[in-house]
Every structure is written in structure tokens, then in C-alpha cells.
């Protein structure tokens, strides 16, 4: 019986043949001759024994009859793979089905070994990852970080060349980390480049990739896609990314991002990625300033879409919002109500296979990515592949990602603006009041947060192919903050123990012009920082909560999957939780950068009635610690309220400022975020 952990070795060295050695222990798959590709089958003895006496472990691979792989193999091994292309989604869906339908881990191992040298390496990684996350017999497995397997999507070509040299010349014990320069994609002549640390952060891009891995939008097994409140989560996760991005813009003296409202306008911002795809052996194409979108007609990609199609889909979605219902494929009305309307819209706008009517409402969000990513070569005249907007692991690097998603968010907000405002009764928690809140770093002055730069090392060796083995580290600079603690004083006058759901948000206090923000604008910039349950004894209570416990973030080790550090004991429920949880906003990006003189923010804390909000389910071993943006594996979203509550709707009449919005169970305090322009080395 095959050990399911061996399947993870198939992620190592993605462009090398499958029979090459893998893993920290020198491990080889004993591949049946019939599984070898045409190039290696005639010399099977020679190539299969290359590693010789150094092998520490051999994994037998059963020779079974292989399912029809013609569809997965129709994408070339050296082409770029994109989830945004319908043709590629169909191909991936087929390969996921094949992996999901294998009867045992043994059969899955055989098919995966056979497929690995025949299908596109990025497609293989994606399809096998989705299958391992969703098969009952492999769910406990821990997927390696995508950045370790495909470092070329996260770091620039010059660094990769230096890392190759280091690993070829220097023995593993003596290798030095190669530093990724901080300013390699643009100069300070480009104001947008001030946000390099957000857009090009490894953790932020890994979060986006992993989120789409947990929430695929296409598979013939509907249960893989049809997860609880999936469409609403698509809306909320991306809305939060835009809110966070705008706070970072304020931290760099820039105005909020302008939505890409008119699809026929030129895109003002250019972007030059300076990365090479190791799979396609091509540079990621740039987009020049002032590029316009054009109708797409790319025969090889089976793409024939006009800008007019996007505009029609958008208009139909707006019409549905204004009418309060969508039409499904049978012509029945599906109400866009308070409870499920946002979920229906999310699946429709993205769009996933859960869309009520893909023919009528189209594929707006995904096609927007595709149009922008092919703007440099819309007809394939120059045989160029898509730009970074065409891949979920690279899209967030490009300034236009935030313009496009601000536009998508506007459509969602149109729906939200038509819902009735929350009433005092819906917001209040009778008998419970907050008497004071404070946030402070250890030993620091109250309500002052501090950020700085940190350098951390990440091992990229899994993705360095055809080179001597051993660790190869990249050293990257990222934002970091001093850890802090919330202190919340709550009075419970009810005379009995109650439970409260503590909801913590933060938003800029002033707008771009330095004027106090109006509630209708500020609510869209509210960043969720944490959400947790607290027991409230009768009388006064003091609740303390550390920033590292946030329901939004995951710690550094999990973002970068240093799988040997801080690992829970084997077989424990906590290990299961550790395994699934690559999805989560990186903890080092929890708070915005701030300004040297301090960025004025407002901290908002609410204690809502947990009896109204609770979802009764068992969460241990279910990866619930980053549930705000990622949900919980195989479980319901752990909050009955709408995502973003209480800021997801327009405020009640007469509330123009946040202070007028407050009920006794809410409180606000001014907080300053001060940035210190210093760099510290992370202690591993």
C-alpha cells in the first residue's frame, strides 16, 4: 500500500523527469518502463540508475492501465497555464476528475507518476493540489508552498541566476542566501512603485494563489466548487484586499485607487515584471503605459471575445441588481435577497460553475483578467503569452489588478447599497456595553503601532531543477510590525453569563485631502483585523487579545510552509489543521505601513450577540484560524452575519460619521501607525 506522503514528492523539481531523485532523503520512484516518455524509454536502465548508491528510499510504482489523458496533454508542457482561460479551466477540470476518481492512493500515485512527465508542470501542480485537498484519503496532507516549487513566479530572473550559481558551486552547508533587491521592477519616478512591498510581497501573492486553490471555480464534481458562501467569500476577500491596498496608498501619500470603469479607456499604469517563466522559457510580457484593451481573437487559446461582451454582461448584472433578481437557465427568478443575494452575485460575477446563468451573465471577472493580460498581443500575432494578470500567483503584482477589482467591487456595492440599513435593534446587544478600548505594543505607548522592514529567508530548492541538491535560500524584504495587544473593557448588566462575538476593524481617519472621512466612504475602507468569541461574566470584564491570534492571518511559517518548524505532533487534530492552512493573509501584513510622522487611523471594536451569530459545528482540526478571508475547510462559515458586518451596508439615515453609528456595544479610539525606516533580520 502506497504511503500518501510520497505523493508530495511529485511536487519537487517540477520540470525534471519523474525518475530523478527527490526529497531531503534521497528518494526515487521505481517507474515502470512503460511509464517513461519516448525520449527515455530506450535508455531506461541507464537513466533509472543515475542516482546509484546514494538512494536512501525507493518507492515502487504499480503498472496499471492509465485513463485517457488526451485532454490534459493537449496543453503543451512549455506553455503558460492560466485558470482565467476557459480552455485551460476545462483541461484542469478533466485532470482533477481523473485524480479524484482513482480508487486508491496506489492508483493515484501510478497515474500521477505517469502524468507528471506528460502534462504541463503548472497544470499538474494545480490539479494534484486540488485533488489532494479534496480526496477523503489524502486530505490530511500538507502541500508545499507554491513559491518553493515555482520560485520564478515570485522572484526576478537575476536573483534566480545567482541562486543557480550558488547551488552549483557551493556545497549545501556553506551556501549564502541571495538577496532579492527591493526596487527591481521600477524607479521612484513611478509613484505606483511606492507600493512594491504590498503588490510584490511573496506572502500576499501566495495568499491569492492558495485562496483560489481552496475555492476552485470549475470542476465536474460540483461539491469541490460548491462550498458554503463561496460566492460571498469571493466578494469579501477581494473587497478586503482593496481596502487594505487603499490604506497602503494613504501610507504613501497617494489617493485611493481609481476603478477601471470604462473598459475602452487606456490603462494609465504600465507594469514591467522582470521575471522569466522557467516552464515556458519566456519572459513575462510587460504592459506599456496607456495600453488599451482590444477584442480578443486568439485561435490557439480558443478565445474569441469582444469588449462589447464584457459591457453586455456588466449591464445585465446591473439590471439584475436593480430588479432584485437574476434569471436562471430555466427562466426562473432567483431573488437577490439580504441573506443569499451576495453569494449568488459572487458566483455570477466571478464566474464559477455555480453561476445561475452563465449564458446570460457571462464570465465578467475572469475575462477582465484575460483581456488585460493579453492587451499587448490580443490576436496572437507575436505569439506572446499572457501577462501577470493572467495568473492567480502573479496577478496581484500589477497595479491594474486593484483598478479591476475596485471596478468589480463597485458592482457588489451597488447590490449592498440597495439592502435595508441595519437598525439599532440589529446592531445593539442589550445589557452589554464597551466602557473602554486600547491597543498597545509590549511596553509601548497606548494606541501607537509601529512598522518597520524585516528581511527573511525562504528555501526555494524544490524549484531549482537540474542542479545539485541542498537548500537554496532567497532573502526578501517585507513589511513587519511590533506585535500588539487589544484591551477591551466590557460591562455585562444582564446578571447572567453571556457570550459576545468581538469584531475588530480599522480604517483611515481622514481622506486624501486630510478631511475627516464620511461614514459612507469610511465603511468601504474598514479592514477586518480580528473576530473571536468571548465569555462575558456578569459585571465588568477585561478582554485581552494578541495581534498574533488574528482570525484573518496565518503565521510566517505557514505562509512559507517551512514544514519542519513548529509542526504539531503527528496524527493530532492540530496537525490536520496545520496541513490545510496555507490559506490566510500573511501576519506580517496585518496592519498598513503608516507614515514616519504617523498615519491617523480609527480602531473600531464591537461585541455582538453570539447567540444570533453562532454556527454550531466542531472546528478543531478544521483550520479555522484564518476563517475571516478563507472560511473553514468542509464546514460552514463560522459567523451567521454577512461578511463585513456591520460595515457591509450603508448606515441608517442621519448617520454621516462613524461616531454617530455607534451603539453601546461598540467603541472607537484613534490610533497612530508610525513607520520606522529600518531593516531587521528575521531570527529563524
Question: Catalytic residues, which ones?
Answer: 350
Task: Identify which of 452, 391, 336, 44 has the alpha carbon closest to the alpha carbon of residue 328.
Answer: 336
Distance CA 153, CA 391 (A): 9
Task: Identify which of 646, 368, 328, 321 has the alpha carbon closest to the alpha carbon of residue 504.
Answer: 646
CA distances for 179 relative to 23, 257, 394, 682, angstroms:
25, 31, 20, 13
Distance CA 527, CA 246 (A): 10
| Helix (H) or strand (E) run with residue 557 in it | helix 556-559
- C-alpha torsion angle, residues 551, 553, 557, 560 (rounded to 10): 140
CA angle centred on 636, ends 635 and 638, rounded to 5°: 110
Which residues contact residue 31 at a Cβ distance below 8 angstroms, ignoring those fewer than 6 apart? Answer: 18, 19, 48, 61, 113
Phi and psi (nearest 5°) for 366?
-65, -40
Distance CA 163, CA 237 (A): 34
Distance CA 37, CA 45 (A): 14
Answer for the pair 141, 42: CB distance below 8 angstroms, yes or no: no
Distance CA 221, CA 244 (A): 34
Distance CA 640, CA 625 (A): 17
**Length of the chain, in residues:** 684
Burial class (CB in 10 A: 0-12, 13-18, 19+), 653: exposed
Give residue 550's Cα distance to chain centre.
17
Phi and psi (nearest 5°) for 602?
-115, 125
Measured distance between the N- and C-terminal CA atoms of the chain, rounded to whole angstroms: 37
Amino acid at each position: 500500500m502506497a504511503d500518501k506522503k510520497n505523493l508530495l514528492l511529485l511536487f519537487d523539481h517540477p520540470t525534471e523527469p519523474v525518475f530523478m531523485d527527490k526529497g531531503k532523503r534521497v528518494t526515487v520512484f521505481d517507474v515502470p518502463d512503460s511509464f517513461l516518455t519516448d525520449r527515455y524509454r530506450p535508455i531506461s536502465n541507464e537513466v533509472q540508475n543515475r542516482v546509484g548508491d546514494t538512494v536512501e528510499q525507493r518507492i515502487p510504482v504499480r503498472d496499471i492501465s492509465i485513463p485517457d489523458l488526451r485532454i490534459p496533454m493537449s496543453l503543451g508542457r512549455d506553455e503558460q497555464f492560466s485558470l482565467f482561460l476557459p480552455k485551460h479551466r476545462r483541461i484542469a477540470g478533466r485532470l482533477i476528475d481523473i485524480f479524484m476518481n482513482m480508487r486508491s492512493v496506489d492508483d493515484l500515485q501510478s497515474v500521477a507518476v505517469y502524468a507528471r512527465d506528460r502534462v504541463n508542470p503548472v497544470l499538474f501542480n494545480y490539479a494534484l493540489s486540488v485533488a489532494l485537498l479534496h480526496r477523503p484519503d489524502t486530505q490530511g496532507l500538507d502541500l508545499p508552498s507554491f513559491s518553493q516549487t515555482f520560485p520564478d513566479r515570485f522572484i526576478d530572473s537575476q536573483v534566480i541566476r545567482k541562486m543557480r550559481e550558488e547551488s552549483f558551486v557551493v556545497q549545501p552547508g556553506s551556501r549564502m542566501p541571495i538577496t532579492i533587491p527591493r526596487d527591481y521592477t521600477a524607479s521612484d519616478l513611478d509613484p505606483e512603485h511606492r507600493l512594491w512591498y504590498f503588490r510584490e510581497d511573496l506572502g500576499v501573492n501566495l495568499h491569492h494563489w492558495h485562496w483560489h486553490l481552496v475555492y476552485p471555480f470549475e470542476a465536474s464534481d460540483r461539491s469541490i466548487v460548491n462550498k458554503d458562501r463561496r460566492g460571498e467569500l469571493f466578494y469579501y476577500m477581494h473587497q478586503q484586499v482593496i481596502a487594505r491596498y487603499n490604506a497602503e496608498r494613504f501610507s504613501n501619500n497617494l489617493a485611493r485607487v481609481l476603478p477601471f470603469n470604462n473598459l475602452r479607456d487606456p490603462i494609465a499604469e504600465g507594469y514591467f515584471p522582470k521575471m522569466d517563466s522557467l516552464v515556458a522559457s519566456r519572459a513575462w510580457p510587460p504592459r506599456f503605459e496607456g495600453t488599451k484593451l482590444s477584442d480578443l481573437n486568439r485561435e490557439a487559446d480558443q478565445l474569441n471575445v469582444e469588449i462589447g461582451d464584457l459591457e453586455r454582461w456588466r449591464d445585465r448584472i446591473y439590471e439584475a441588481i436593480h430588479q432584485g433578481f437574476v434569471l436562471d437557465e430555466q427562466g426562473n427568478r432567483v431573488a437577490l435577497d439580504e441573506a443569499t443575494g451576495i453569494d449568488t452575485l459572487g458566483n455570477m460575477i466571478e464566474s464559477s460553475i455555480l453561476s445561475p446563468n452563465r449564458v446570460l451573465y457571462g464570465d465578467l471577472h475572469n475575462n477582465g483578467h484575460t483581456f488585460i493580460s493579453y492587451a499587448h498581443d490580443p490576436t496572437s500575432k507575436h505569439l506572446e503569452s499572457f501577462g501577470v494578470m493572467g495568473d492567480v500567483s502573479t496577478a496581484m503584482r500589477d497595479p491594474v489588478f486593484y483598478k479591476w477589482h475596485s471596478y468589480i467591487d463597485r458592482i457588489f456595492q451597488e447590490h449592498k447599497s440597495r439592502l435595508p440599513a441595519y437598525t439599532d435593534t440589529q446592531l445593539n446587544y442589550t445589557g452589554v456595553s464597551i466602557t473602554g478600548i486600547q491597543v498597545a505594543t509590549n511596553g509601548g505607548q497606548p494606541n501607537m503601532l509601529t512598522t518597520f522592514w524585516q528581511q527573511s529567508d525562504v528555501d526555494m530548492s524544490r524549484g531549482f531543477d537540474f542542479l545539485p541538491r541542498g537548500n537554496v535560500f532567497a532573502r526578501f524584504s517585507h513589511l513587519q510590525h511590533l506585535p500588539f495587544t487589544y484591551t477591551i473593557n466590557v460591562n455585562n448588566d444582564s446578571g447572567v453569563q453571556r457570550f459576545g462575538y468581538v469584531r475588530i476593524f480599522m480604517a483611515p481617519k481622514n481622506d486624501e485631502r486630510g478631511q475627516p472621512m464620511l461614514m459612507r466612504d469610511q465603511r468601504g475602507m474598514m479592514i477586518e483585523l480580528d473576530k473571536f468569541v468571548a465569555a462575558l461574566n456578569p459585571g465588568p470584564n477585561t478582554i485581552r487579545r494578541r495581534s498574533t491570534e488574528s482570525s484573518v492571518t496565518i503565521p510566517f511559517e505557514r505562509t512559507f510552509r517551512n514544514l519542519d518548524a513548529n509542526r504539531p505532533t503527528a496524527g493530532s487534530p492540530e496537525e490536520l489543521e496545520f496541513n490545510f492552512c496555507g490559506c490566510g493573509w500573511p501576519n506580517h501584513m496585518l496592519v498598513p505601513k503608516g507614515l514616519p510622522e504617523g498615519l491617523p487611523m480609527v480602531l473600531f471594536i464591537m461585541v455582538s450577540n453570539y447567540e444570533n451569530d453562532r454556527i454550531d459545528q466542531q472546528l478543531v482540526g478544521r483550520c479555522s484560524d484564518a476563517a475571516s478571508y478563507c472560511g473553514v475547510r468542509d464546514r460552514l462559515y463560522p459567523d451567521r452575519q454577512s461578511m463585513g458586518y456591520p460595515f457591509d451596508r450603508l448606515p441608517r439615515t442621519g448617520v454621516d460619521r462613524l461616531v454617530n453609528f455607534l451603539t453601546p456595544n461598540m467603541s472607537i479610539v484613534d490610533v497612530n501607525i508610525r513607520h520606522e525606516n529600518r531593516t531587521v533580520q528575521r531570527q529563524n
